[in-house]
Amino acid sequence: MITLRINGKKHDIDVEPDMPLLWAIRDVVGLTGTKYGCGKGLCGSCKVLLDNSPVQSCLIPVSIAEEKNILTIEGESENLQLLQESWIEENVPQCGFCQPGQLIAATALLDKNENPTDDDINEAMIGNICRCGTYQRIKKAINRTVELKKQS
């Protein structure tokens, strides 16, 4: 048995310790917002926060994630919720498939950096591919969130 703490809730699951966290989340726990895109840590679709750090869950064996705090797209965090609002306001998604991973990457950025530069955004988001090409709007939505936070 391995215990995962996802979005504040405990899940005891019976899986091989080498199973990547992605598949434990999707196929065993049943939260499908975290996406499979490449399986090699190349596209960022599977990003989750592991103890507040962004990781590609397709690369992390489930045993390493045990007892750590996992935040997925279904979870709650101040920056994630603010970014989700901005994503809607800036009309970011096209097909929408990569957006959970993009939002998690952006959440990790804003958790650590309240006032990111353009280079900071590029660095934080470089691991996330969007085949529809929504990058420009992703950047706008991140900047919008930063501005809103400054005003409040």
Binding mask 4-23 for other proteins (x = CB under 8 A): -----------xx--xx--x
Q: Which listed range, 49-57, 108-116, 133-141, 143-151, lies at the site for other proteins (CB under 8 A)?
A: 133-141
Q: Which of residues 74-113 bind other proteins (CB under 8 A)?
A: 74, 84, 87-88, 91-100, 103
Nearest to 81 by CA among 10, 151, 149: 149
- Our finding on whether 145 is near other proteins (CB under 8 A) is no
Instruction: Give the orientation angle of helix 135-151 with respect to helix 99-112, to 10 degrees.
Output: 40
Binding test (CB under 8 A) with other proteins, winner from 4, 6, 43, 82? 43
* C-alpha to C-alpha distance for 125 and 104, rounded to whole angstroms: 10
**Contact by Cβ (8 Å): 50, 22:** no
Rounded least distance, CB 126 to other proteins, Å:
5
End-to-end C-alpha distance for the chain, whole angstroms: 44
Contacts of 111 by beta carbon, 8 Å cutoff, 6+ apart = 49, 52, 77, 79
Least distance to other proteins, CB of residue 134, Å: 7
The structure tokens 């409040």 sit at 152
Q: Considering only residues 5, 11, 32, 149, which one is a binding residue for other proteins as defined by CB under 8 A?
A: 32
50 binds other proteins (CB under 8 A): no
CB of 68 to other proteins, least distance (A): 19
Q: In angstroms, what CA-CA distances link 84 with 15, 21, 58, 87, 145?
A: 32, 23, 23, 5, 9
Residue ranges in contact with other proteins by CB under 8 A: 15-16, 19-20, 23, 26-28, 30-40, 42-43, 45, 72-74, 84, 87-88, 91-100, 103, 121-123, 125-139
